[in-house]
Amino acid sequence: MPPPLSIDDIAARLDEVLEVEFTFRNTRPAAESIAALPRADQEFALELVARVASTNVEIGYRVAVHAGRALASMDERMVEAWGLNATHTYDRVGLRPALQAVEEVEQFVHLDRMRRHGALLEEAAGVLLHFLHGLSGRELKLAEGEAAWTDTETIHLPNALAELPESRDNFQLYKVTAAFLWAQTRFGTFRTPLIETLAAHPRPEKLLALFATAERLRLEACLARELPGLHREMRRLAAAAGEPDLPAEWAAAAEVLRAHDADGRASLAVALDNLDRLQPVVTCYQGELRPGAVAECMAVRTEKEKALFRFKLKELADEQRGRVPDAGDTGKEPRFEARRAEEESASLEMEITLDEKPVPPPEGMRRLTRSIVQDFGGIPPDYLVPAGPGEYDPRDFEAPRRDPDAVWQGTYHEDGAYFCDEWDHRRQHYRKGWCVVRECDVTPEQSEFRTETLHKYAGLVRNLRKTFEAMRDEDRTLSRQPDGDDVDIDALVEALADAHGGAELSDRLYTRLHRSERNIAVLFMVDMSGSTRGWINDAERESLILLSEALETLGDRFAIYGFSGMTRKRCEIFRVKGFDEPYGAEVQGRIAGIRPRDYTRMGFAIRHLTRVLADTEARTRILITLSDGKPDDYSDYRGEYGIEDTRQALIEAKRVGIHPFCITIDEEGPTYLPRMYGPVNYTVVADVRKLPYRVGDIYRRLTT
C-alpha cells in the first residue's frame, strides 16, 4: 500500500480543484483533517471533493472540510451519497440549503440509520400505491407529508418511518397506516358533523382526540371484518411497538363501536358522552385527523361530483329516451332512483333505476357513484335530478390544460412540462429533473415542398421505391422442409429414386410458406438547431420526404420528431409525425415547416424519445438521429459535458432495447461519435447535398 499523502500534497491538490488561485481559500485545515485518514480514504475524499467542486467550488470546499468527520462515521457509499446530496440540493434549491446539507453530517448519519433500519416512503411508495388502488373505493393518491393524515383524496405519509427496529416491520407500518387512512375514507369517518360539533364545543382538542380513539376502535373492527389479515398485522405491530392493551374503562365504549352497524356518529357520541371519563389512547398507525383540510377537499369534490353526476344522468336519460321512441317528449321528467346493489350495507355499488326500470350505468359513472357513496353513504336525492339543458358543462370542472407555447409568455415557469435527468460526468451522477422538456407541434407549412422534392429527385424516388419494395420480406415458399403445407414433388421424386437405390428416404419432403413479418418501428430525431440553417435544413427536409415516401411503401412504422433548445429550462421536442399519425398532407406540411431553432442539447431529446419509442410495440426499435454536429447548448452543454450526457442517454436507450444510430454531416464526426454511439452505429455523409441520396441506402442497410 502506498504511503499516505502529506498535508502539503493534499493541500496542493485541493488548491487545484478548489481554484484557490482565484478564491484565496485556506485549504490548510481541510488538508489536515484529510491527511489523518488512511491512503485509500484520502484518495476517495479528494476524488469526491473534485466531483462536488465541479458543480460548485464553495460546496466542494465545505465537503473537503467535513470529509474527515464524515468518513469517520459512515462508510464510503454513504459519504458519497452525502456529497452528492449536497449537489442535488444545489440543483434544486440553491447554494445556501446545499451548504447546510453539507454541514449536517450528523443529520445524514441519522438518515443513514433510518435507511438501514427504517423504511423510506420513496422506496415503499410504489408498492403502497398499488396496494391502495387494489383496495376498493376512490383511487387515492400518495404524498409525502410531515405526518400521516388524509384529506379523503390524498394520503399523506412521513418520508421515513423508524418506529420499529426491523425495516420489514417499518414497511408494514407504512402499509397499515395507509390502509387505516383508507379505512377512514371508506367507512365514513368524515360522514359525521365533526366540524360543526368541534366548533360549538368548549374543548375541541380533547373531543377530537377522543373521537380519533373511538374511530380507531370502530375502524379496527371494520377492518377485522373486511381484511382480517391486515387487522392481525395491526395487532402485531402495535404489540411490537410495545403498546399496552386497551384500558379497561374503554371496554364498554369499544363494545358499542365494534358493533356491525356502528358508524362515525356512534364514535362522535362516545367521544361527547365520555369527555371527562375517558382518556385518548394513541396507536402507532392511526395518524392524525385534520377535519379542516377534509372539509375543504370535500367541498370542492362534492360540488364537482354532483354536477358531473347530474350531467351523466342527463346523458343517460337522453340515451334511454332515444331508445324507446314512444317514451319521447311526453313532458314527463325522468325519475331516477338509486338503490344498493346488494343487501349488505357496506357495499359501494348502487343500482340506478329510471322510472323504476334498472339502467346500466356507463363506465366512468360507476367510479363516480362509488366516490359519492363514500362521501354520503348513499346518493342524496338532489343528486338524482338530471342536469337541465345547458346547466352544467363538465368541462368547467376539468383541470385547465396549458398551452405549451403560452407558458413562455410572461415570467417563465415550469407548468405542464416533463422533467428529464441529465448526466454530469464530472459529478459522476445525474442532475435530477434538470431539463424542462416540452412537446410542441411544428406549424405545418402549406407549400409545394413535397411536390418539388419528388420532382427534383424523380429518379431517386423510383429507385428508392424499388429497393424498398424488394426489402419487403415477401412471403416465399421454402422447399425441402421437414414439415409444411404441401408435398415438395421434386424432393419426393428424388427421395423415391434414392429409396429404390437403397438409400435412406429423406424426410425433407415438404414445401412451407415462409412469412416474415417485418416488425420495425423507427423514430427519426431531427436536429433543428440554428446551425442547420440553409442547405442543411433543406437537405434534412428533403431526406425526410423521400424517406417517408419509401417507408410508406415498405410499411415500417415510423415517427419523426425534431429537437432544439436553449438552456436546460427550455428544451423543446417538436412532433412532426407520431407513430399513430398517417403520413398525409398534414405531416407533409409539418416536414416542410421544419425550421432551424436554437441549440443542440441532445440528452433530453434522446431520453424523451426513448420513452416514446419504448411505448411502441415492435420487435425492433430504432432511433435514428439526423445531426450536423456535436451536442452543444448555450453556456453549460459544451464539449465533454454534452458528449458524456448524450452517451449516457444512449446507453439508457440501449438498455431498454432500442438501437440508436446517427447520420451526421459533420466531418469531425468520427472524433466523437464512436464515444457516443459506438464504433459502428453512425455514418458520416460528407456532402450535405448527398444526404437525400444516402439516407435511403443507410436505412436499408440498417434494417436488412
Q: Which residues bind another protein (CB under 8 A)?
A: 126-131, 133-136, 139, 175, 179, 227-230, 233, 485-487, 492, 496, 499, 509, 513, 515, 617
Please, which residue, 500 or 701, has the CB nearer to another protein?
Answer: 500
> At its nearest, how many Å lie between another protein and the CB of residue 318?
25
Q: Which three cell numbers stand for residue 42?
A: 484520502
> At its nearest, how many Å lie between another protein and the CB of residue 238?
16
Residues with Cβ within 8 Å of residue 95, at least 6 apart in sequence: 56, 58, 59
Phi/psi region, residue 20 (left: phi>0; alpha: psi -120 to 50; beta: rest), is alpha
The per-residue DSSP string of 111-130 comes to HHHHHHHSEEHHHHHHHHHH
Torsion angle of alpha carbons 620, 621, 627, 632, nearest 10°?
A: -140
What size, in residues, is the chain? 704
CA–CA separation, 193 and 293 (whole Å): 14
Please, which residue, 393 or 485, has the CB nearer to another protein?
Answer: 485
Q: Do 641 and 602 form a contact (C-beta atoms < 8 A)?
A: no
AA identity, residue 152: T
AA identity, residue 137: G
> At its nearest, how many Å lie between another protein and the CB of residue 243?
20
Please, which residue, 558 or 563, has the CB nearer to another protein?
Answer: 558
Residue 439, SS3? Answer: strand
> At its nearest, how many Å lie between another protein and the CB of residue 178?
10
AA identity, residue 407: V
> At its nearest, how many Å lie between another protein and the CB of residue 136?
6
Please, which residue, 130 or 655, has the CB nearer to another protein?
Answer: 130
Instruction: State how beta strands 141-144 and 160-161 pair.
Output: unpaired
Please, which residue, 199 or 346, has the CB nearer to another protein?
Answer: 346
Phi/psi region, residue 33 (left: phi>0; alpha: psi -120 to 50; beta: rest), is alpha
Please, which residue, 83 or 137, has the CB nearer to another protein?
Answer: 137
Please, which residue, 230 or 602, has the CB nearer to another protein?
Answer: 230
Please, which residue, 23 or 519, has the CB nearer to another protein?
Answer: 519
CA–CA separation, 150 and 186 (whole Å): 12
> At its nearest, how many Å lie between another protein and the CB of residue 342?
8
Please, which residue, 126 or 193, has the CB nearer to another protein?
Answer: 126
> At its nearest, how many Å lie between another protein and the CB of residue 88?
23
Residue 558, SS3? Answer: strand
The sign one gets for the Cα dihedral 611, 612, 618, 620 is negative
Instruction: State how beta strands 141-144 and 119-120 pair.
Output: unpaired
Residue 479, SS3? Answer: strand
Please, which residue, 147 or 487, has the CB nearer to another protein?
Answer: 487
> At its nearest, how many Å lie between another protein and the CB of residue 286?
17
> At its nearest, how many Å lie between another protein and the CB of residue 227?
4
Instruction: State how beta strands 141-144 and 154-157 pair.
Output: parallel
> At its nearest, how many Å lie between another protein and the CB of residue 134?
4
Helices assigned H by DSSP within 565-602: 585-592
CA–CA separation, 144 and 146 (whole Å): 7
Please, which residue, 415 or 486, has the CB nearer to another protein?
Answer: 486
In 445-556, beta strands by DSSP E = 476-481, 486-487, 510-514, 520-527
> At its nearest, how many Å lie between another protein and the CB of residue 615?
11
CA–CA separation, 34 and 41 (whole Å): 8
Residues with Cβ within 8 Å of residue 193, at least 6 apart in sequence: 268
> At its nearest, how many Å lie between another protein and the CB of residue 546?
27
Q: Do 528 and 567 form a contact (C-beta atoms < 8 A)?
A: no
> At its nearest, how many Å lie between another protein and the CB of residue 500?
10
Q: Do 275 and 206 form a contact (C-beta atoms < 8 A)?
A: yes
Residue 480, SS3? Answer: strand
Instruction: State how beta strands 476-481 and 510-514 pair.
Output: antiparallel
Please, which residue, 490 or 667, has the CB nearer to another protein?
Answer: 490
Q: Which three cell numbers stand for residue 29?
A: 485545515
Please, which residue, 229 or 459, has the CB nearer to another protein?
Answer: 229
Please, which residue, 11 or 128, has the CB nearer to another protein?
Answer: 128
Q: Which three cell numbers stand for residue 379?
A: 346518493
> At its nearest, how many Å lie between another protein and the CB of residue 359?
17
> At its nearest, how many Å lie between another protein and the CB of residue 491?
10
Q: How far is CA 576 from CA 498, 519, 548, 614, in A?
A: 62, 22, 12, 18
Please, which residue, 69 or 557, has the CB nearer to another protein?
Answer: 557
CA–CA separation, 438 and 418 (whole Å): 6
